């Protein structure tokens, strides 16, 4: 009871299933919840472009704007492609469902693994980047960045465990503050350049660009493709929308794409014009805000809104990951618990596991955003490619009205995302992408092992080849009651044992011979008609002699089942249980996997003090 009350205090009272429809969210909330990942990438994607270019020379930074234009075009292509996915698959699951149904199970599982890994990394990167925004404004807390990041993950977990609608309301306003503040910064920054209040370090576009190795341009491009992370979240989370879900999802995706293109290109162009050069300890967005506003109050508005959107961007994964995990669990590729709705009509198990994995990554990589980003670029574009390839087969198979236009859009999306995946893989492999390249096949292997387990269990439990019995034959079984003494709890266990079997034996493990004699005497007084077996234990083990006796009994009495009844008493207060019943727990654990053994408890409730 105390645990139930504590749980309700933390996450809220349980909600009935019929309220599930009330947990659906509107477009303006969905834009905040499902687009925060993509929109937040504006805060670090520009910096990711600048870092490899700045390593060559200051002149090489001129390539940042052409690279941003290419990424913007790619973003539009991918967004248009996912509109087709939303139209065709409105039940969630995204790339996994599309690839599995159209290309094959293996392709679907590869896409599913890539997406799950991407969601975990999104939480890690978003929270780490959010904390980086805080440390940019307040350098004195830099050494506590990992601890702060883990605490933030815990807070996001708590909000999501309380329910989708509740978390959406809380998370919506910071997203819109971020959007407005960045538009203000872009507007003021452009106005100052236009009016001559700020010195223009570089033109937006150059007449000529410094010759550098194309590999470095590709590296900057692949780094900047972090701007596309999270763009698939809306198509994966269509079931979260209010009806008509697919229409609202398509509208929200269009809004997100338009905002993302404008913000990303605007920040990149403005950073180039103001001559922003990345440096350790301060994000490029922070430098740009200082250049535009100085260190006034609006600079801190920018930093706070950036930190909030980056932290809340993790919430995109808390919507996408549970939906995808539930679909995989329904298909028997993940544990069934992942498909069970919790008290607050959310997939609580998936939320908790996502948080644990993300926190581990933050700790391992010490909260460094630049170290984490290369890990999930390959997986993201692998998911994009498989999703678009699956849509091509879908169009060819169904040929619905307008399918040729949709086919052309998805074909362009498949080709471009495949090329980008190769570029990202080649340029980021040595920086950490190799981890994901190995991790995806490992996840697929685990999926197959889980699926094989469920199928084998289902086959063994199936009644397909069994005929219905005309009469149920009773099971011949022997009852063993391990005791530590003679008390009311043991008497209740004996009464129950006699009621279910004619062969009941009490077993006592001897540690102290004098104690054994006292128990024998009490047994003769209270239950002399029941056989009393004493097991010697020279090494003072309780469990081992009992297990050996049960195994020997199986070979001698030839019962189909041996039932072990564990007498237990329940104390008046839950904390008293810590002082009791540890042996009972060990007995149940030891017999759990033994065939033909049934373990049950007979509980005696005491009042205590």
Residue 106 pLDDT class (50, 70, 90 cuts): very high
Q: What value does the mean pLDDT take over residues 432-439?
A: 80
Both tokens of 78, joined, read 């991918």
Among 148-162, 307-321, 435-449, the minimum mean pLDDT is found in 307-321
Percent of the chain with pLDDT over 70: 87
pLDDT digits (tens, 9 = 90+) for 525-543: 888 888 889 988 877 777 8
pLDDT for the residue 258 = 92
- Give the CATH H-level superfamily of domain 29-454: Amino acid/polyamine transporter I (1.20.1740.10)
Residue 192 pLDDT class (50, 70, 90 cuts): very high
pLDDT for the residue 545 = 85
Residue 544 pLDDT class (50, 70, 90 cuts): confident
Domain boundaries, the chain: 29-454, 477-605
Residue 191 pLDDT class (50, 70, 90 cuts): very high
Q: What value does the mean pLDDT take over residues 105-124?
A: 88
Q: Identify which has the larger pLDDT, 372 or 245.
A: 245
pLDDT digits (tens, 9 = 90+) for 9-54: 555 555 554 454 555 777 887 787 777 778 878 887 888 888 888 8
Q: Is the peptide bond before 519 cis (omega within 30 degrees of 0)?
A: no
pLDDT digits (tens, 9 = 90+) for 268-287: 999 989 988 887 667 888 89
User: Taking a C-beta distance cutoff of 8 angstroms, is the pair 178, 42 a contact?
Assistant: no
Rounded to an integer, what distance in angstroms lies between the CA atom of residue 303 and that of residue 50? 20
Q: What value does the mean pLDDT take over residues 161-165?
A: 65
DSSP 207: S
Both tokens of 31, joined, read 């834009």
Q: What value does the mean pLDDT take over residues 103-108?
A: 91
pTM given for the model: 0.70
Q: What value does the mean pLDDT take over residues 230-242?
A: 77
- Give the CATH H-level superfamily of domain 477-605: HUPs (3.40.50.620)
Rounded to an integer, what distance in angstroms lies between the CA atom of residue 142 and that of residue 50? 22
Q: What is the mean pLDDT of the chain?
A: 81
User: Taking a C-beta distance cutoff of 8 angstroms, is the pair 601, 584 a contact?
Assistant: yes
Residue 261 pLDDT class (50, 70, 90 cuts): very high
* Closest to 440 in 3D by CA, of 46, 118, 74: 118
pLDDT for the residue 23 = 57
Residue 211 pLDDT class (50, 70, 90 cuts): confident
Rounded to an integer, what distance in angstroms lies between the CA atom of residue 436 and that of residue 366? 18
Residue 464 pLDDT class (50, 70, 90 cuts): low
Q: What value does the mean pLDDT take over residues 437-461?
A: 85
pLDDT digits (tens, 9 = 90+) for 582-593: 677 778 788 777
CA distances to 323, 514, 526 from 521, rounded to whole Å, are 62, 11, 9
pLDDT for the residue 471 = 55
* Closest to 120 in 3D by CA, of 362, 434, 338, 370: 362
Report CA torsion sign: 50, 53, 57, 61.
negative
pLDDT digits (tens, 9 = 90+) for 371-429: 676 676 677 788 888 988 988 988 888 888 888 888 888 888 888 888 888 887 777 77
pLDDT for the residue 233 = 77
Percent of the chain with pLDDT over 90: 9
pLDDT digits (tens, 9 = 90+) for 70-89: 989 888 888 888 888 888 77
pLDDT digits (tens, 9 = 90+) for 3-19: 455 555 555 555 554 45
Q: What value does the mean pLDDT take over residues 280-298?
A: 86
pLDDT for the residue 441 = 92
pLDDT for the residue 575 = 59
């Amino acid at each position: 009871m105390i645990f139930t009350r504590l749980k309700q205090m933390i996450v809220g009272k349980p909600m009935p299933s019929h309220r599930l429809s009330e947990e659906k969210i509107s477009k303006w909330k969905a834009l905040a919840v499902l687009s925060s990942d993509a929109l937040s990438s504006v805060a670090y994607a520009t910096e990711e472009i600048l870092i490899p270019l700045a390593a060559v020379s200051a002149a090489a930074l001129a390539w940042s704007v052409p690279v941003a234009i290419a990424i913007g075009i790619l973003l539009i292509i991918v967004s248009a492609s996912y509109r087709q996915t939303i139209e065709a698959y409105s039940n969630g699951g995204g790339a996994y469902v599309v690839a599995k149904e159209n290309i094959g199970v293996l392709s679907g599982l590869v896409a599913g693994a890539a997406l799950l890994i991407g969601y975990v990394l999104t939480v890690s990167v978003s929270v780490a980047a959010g904390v980086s925004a805080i440390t940019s404004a307040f350098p004195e807390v830099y050494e506590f960045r990992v601890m702060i990041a883990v605490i933030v993950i815990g807070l996001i977990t708590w909000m999501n465990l309380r329910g989708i609608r509740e978390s959406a309301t809380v998370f919506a306003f910071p997203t819109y503050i971020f959007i407005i503040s960045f538009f203000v910064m872009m507007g003021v920054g452009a106005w100052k350049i236009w009016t001559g209040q700020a010195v223009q370090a570089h033109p937006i576009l150059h007449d000529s660009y410094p010759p550098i190795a194309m590999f470095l341009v590709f590296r900057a491009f692949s780094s900047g493709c972090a701007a596309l992370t999270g763009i698939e979240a809306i198509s994966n989370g269509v079931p979260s929308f209010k009806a008509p879900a697919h229409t609202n999802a398509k509208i929200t995706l269009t809004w997100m794409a338009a905002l993302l293109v404008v913000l990303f290109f605007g920040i990149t162009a403005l950073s180039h014009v103001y001559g922003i050069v990345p440096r350790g300890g301060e994000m490029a967005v922070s430098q740009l805000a200082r250049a535009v506003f100085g260190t006034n109050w609006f600079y801190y508005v920018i930093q706070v809104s950036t930190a909030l959107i980056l932290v809340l961007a993790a919430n995109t994964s808390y919507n996408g990951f549970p939906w995808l995990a539930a679909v995989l669990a329904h298909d028997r590729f993940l544990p069934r618990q992942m498909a069970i709705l919790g008290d607050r009509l959310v997939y609580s198990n998936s939320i908790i596991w996502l948080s644990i994995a993300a926190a581990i990554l933050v700790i391992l990589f010490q909260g460094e955003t630049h170290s984490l980003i290369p890990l999930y670029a390959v997986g993201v574009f692998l998911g994009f490619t498989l999703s678009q390839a699956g849509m091509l087969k879908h169009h060819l198979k169904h040929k619905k009205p307008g399918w040729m236009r949709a086919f052309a859009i998805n074909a362009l999306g498949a080709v471009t995302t495949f090329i980008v995946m190769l570029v990202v893989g080649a340029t980021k492999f040595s920086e950490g992408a190799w981890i994901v390249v190995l991790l995806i096949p490992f996840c697929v292997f685990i999926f197959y092992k889980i699926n094989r387990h469920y199928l084998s269990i289902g086959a063994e439990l199936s009644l397909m080849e069994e005929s219905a019995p005309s009469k149920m034959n009773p099971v011949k079984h022997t009852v063993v009651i391990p005791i530590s003494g003679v008390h009311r709890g043991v008497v209740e266990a004996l009464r129950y044992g006699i009621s279910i079997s004619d062969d009941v034996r009490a077993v006592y493990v001897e540690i102290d011979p004098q104690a054994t004699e006292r128990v024998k005497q009490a047994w003769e007084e209270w239950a002399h008609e029941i056989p009393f077996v004493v097991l010697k234990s020279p090494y003072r083990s309780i469990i081992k002699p009992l297990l050996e006796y049960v195994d020997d009994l199986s070979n001698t009495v030839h019962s189909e089942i041996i039932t072990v009844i564990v007498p237990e008493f329940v104390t008046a207060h839950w904390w008293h249980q810590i002082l009791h019943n540890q042996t009972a727990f060990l007995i149940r654990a030891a017999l759990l996997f033994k065939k033909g053994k049934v373990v049950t408890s007979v509980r005696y409730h005491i009042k205590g003090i």
